[in-house]
């Protein structure tokens, strides 16, 4: 019995502080429950996705150093639902003795696209041709250097889910207004076959593990679908993608999950597009489709516990995001989709985030595992379409509801 008369915890696990109350923190909490690891949350709003399921969340702005100190107080480690905490605040916390994983010197490469491109280029990681531009002349010169066609321009900080990213044709579009907010990262417009993601996890002691490389479908900068493993991916290219991710994790001293988003070019190369140092949308399939989910492995890593197996549990897993916005404006509850989807296909796994439905917002995802890729993909798409109110106009589910072979 403790001094205040309370019974001690039978596990007495270290407290993990989490900044950000989104769905990533919510799913991290699910993994923490099984490990009996207590989480302390700093959420943006009292009704944020993770705040709905975590006890006594703190509410505050992630840009408020005092609130960051509050959530870190008494915790073993501080980790993140997103990368938007100011770098200088994290460095202050580290100087005060807070253990941040990933640390600010690593995380800045996921916060600042220019810093990321400079570091990856210096270490020989294959990336698109790029340049930091601050004037119209510099942007025009870069466009000319990559063939004179359209180029991608990205805000250096703060962009996500397609925000702050735009393709422009410098020869016909006015660009002065784009540069009014400061320098931009300009990149060549890559001729790619598809987008891939290599997800790895690394602990402070240096243990690292890699999940199968996946293919993602992006529309409007938003991830719509993930297939694990990436179909028809050359084995040598898959190994190269995993090696790049593992090397980046080591070189940047990343602790926790690192997602490396890549372009598979039409001439058989992979180029690094983005980095994320947290559990990632392209890894949601691991909750149902891998021996150890990305969320459990992230917790294991930040606590420096031995990592779990990243082995896939079925030949194919497809994850499809549920995006808010039903076309007829009826505003039907997402919950109302359960009866039909579960009756239609008992093998579908549904994950809803407790978020208010808004057009295009990620409000959940579905996952299906099995032996036949076409059937698995069709089932996942149908289930997601039913929740979004588009099943009647989308692909009708005509296959069997068999879940295929899933190993324990």
How confident is the model over 291-308, as pLDDT tens digits?
999 999 999 999 999 999
Question: Of all residues in the chain, what percent are helix, strand and coil, respectively (each to 5)?
Answer: 30, 25, 45
Within 157-291, residue ranges assigned H as helices are 235-251, 286-289
What are residue 167's DSSP bridge partners? 152
Structure tokens at 83: 């990368």
> At CA 117, angle to CA 126 and CA 239, rounded to 5?
30
Give the closest residue to 244 by CA, choosing from 273, 217, 219, 265: 273
pLDDT confidence of residue 179: 81
Q: What is the pLDDT of residues 186-197, one digit of tens each?
A: 999 999 999 999
129-188 is classed CATH 3.30.1490.20: yes
Long-range contacts of 392-396 (CB under 8 A, 24+ apart): 393/327
**CA-only gyration radius of the chain, Å:** 22
Fold of the 192-388 domain = D-amino Acid Aminotransferase; Chain A, domain 1 (3.30.470)
104-123 core/surface letters (b: 16 or more CB in 10 A; e: else): bebbbbbbbbbebbebbeee
Q: Which residue has the tokens 């990336």?
A: 127
162 pLDDT band (50/70/90 cuts)? low
Domain ranges in the chain are: 16-100, 129-188, 192-388
Q: Rounded CA gap, 76 and 204, in Å? A: 14
Q: Nearest 5 degrees, angle CA 29-CA 31-CA 36?
A: 85
State what percent of residues in the chain have pLDDT above 90: 78
The angle, 0 to 180 degrees and rounded to 10, between the axes of the packed helices 104-111 and 113-122 is 110
Q: What CATH fold (topology level) applies to the domain 16-100?
A: Rossmann fold (3.40.50)
* Secondary structure of 369-406 as H, E, C letters: EECCHHHHHHHHHHHHHHHHCCCCCCCCCCCCCCCCCC
Question: Once rounded to an integer, what is the mean pLDDT over residues 195-218?
Answer: 97
Q: What is the pLDDT of residue 8?
A: 53
pLDDT at 189: 94
Instruction: Give the separation between CA 285 and CA 312, rounded to whole angstroms.
Output: 10
Phi, psi of 145 (to 5 degrees): -70, -20
> Measured at the alpha carbon of residue 315, what is the angle toward residues 314 and 316, in degrees to the nearest 5?
90
Sign of the Cα torsion 395, 214, 301, 63 reads: negative
pLDDT for 268 beyond 80: yes
Largest pairwise CA distance in the chain: 74
How far is residue 187's CA from residue 185's CA, in Å, rounded to a whole number? 7
pLDDT band at 11 (very low <50, low <70, confident <90, very high): low
Intrachain domains 16-100 and 129-188 with the same fold = no
pLDDT digits (tens, 9 = 90+) for 351-400: 999 999 888 899 999 999 999 999 999 999 999 999 987 775 444 444 44
Please state, for a pLDDT cut of 70, what percent of the chain lies above it.
Answer: 89
CA pseudo-torsion sign 295, 346, 230, 226: negative
**What DSSP state is assigned to residue 357?**
P
Report how far residue 334's alpha carbon sits from residue 354's, in angstroms, rounded to the nearest whole number: 9
């Amino acid at each position: 019995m403790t001094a205040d008369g309370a019974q001690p915890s039978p596990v007495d696990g270290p407290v993990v502080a989490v900044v950000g109350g989104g769905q990533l923190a919510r799913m991290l909490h699910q993994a923490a429950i099984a490990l009996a690891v207590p989480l302390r949350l700093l959420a943006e709003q009292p009704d944020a996705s993770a705040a709905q399921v975590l006890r006594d969340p703190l509410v505050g702005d992630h840009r408020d150093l005092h609130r960051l100190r509050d959530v870190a107080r008494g915790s073993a480690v501080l980790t993140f639902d997103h990368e938007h905490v100011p770098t200088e605040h994290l460095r202050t916390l580290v100087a005060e003795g807070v253990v941040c994983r990933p640390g600010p010197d690593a995380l800045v490469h996921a916060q600042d696209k220019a810093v990321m491109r400079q570091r990856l280029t210096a270490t020989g990681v294959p990336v698109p041709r790029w340049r930091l531009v601050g004037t119209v002349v510099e942007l025009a010169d870069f466009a000319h250097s990559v063939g004179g066609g359209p180029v991608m321009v990205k805000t250096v900080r703060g962009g996500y889910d397609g925000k702050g990213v735009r393709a422009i044709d410098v020869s016909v579009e006015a660009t002065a207004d784009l540069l009014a907010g400061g320098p931009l990262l300009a990149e060549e417009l890559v001729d790619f076959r598809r987008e891939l993601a290599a997800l790895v996890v690394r602990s402070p002691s240096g243990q690292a593990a890699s999940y199968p490389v996946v293919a993602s479908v992006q529309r409007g900068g938003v991830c719509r679908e993930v297939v694990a493993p990436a179909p028809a991916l050359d084995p040598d290219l898959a190994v190269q993608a995993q090696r790049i991710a593992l090397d980046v994790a080591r070189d940047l001293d990343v602790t926790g999950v690192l997602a490396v988003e890549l372009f598979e070019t039409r001439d058989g190369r992979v180029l690094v597009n983005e980095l994320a140092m947290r559990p990632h949308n392209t890894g949601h399939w691991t909750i149902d489709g891998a021996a150890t989910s990305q969320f459990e492995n992230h917790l294991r890593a930040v606590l420096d516990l031995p990592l779990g197996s990243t082995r896939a549990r079925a030949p194919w897993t497809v994850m499809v995001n549920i995006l808010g916005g039903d076309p007829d404006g009826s505003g039907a509850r997402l919950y109302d989709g359960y009866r039909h989807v579960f009756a239609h296909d008992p093998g579908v796994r549904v994950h809803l985030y407790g978020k208010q439905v808004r057009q295009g917002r990620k409000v959940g995802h579905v996952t299906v595992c099995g032996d036949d890729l076409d059937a698995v993909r069709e089932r996942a798409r149908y289930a997601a379409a039913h929740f979004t109110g588009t099943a009647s106009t989308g692909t009708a589910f005509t296959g069997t509801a068999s879940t295929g072979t899933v190993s324990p």
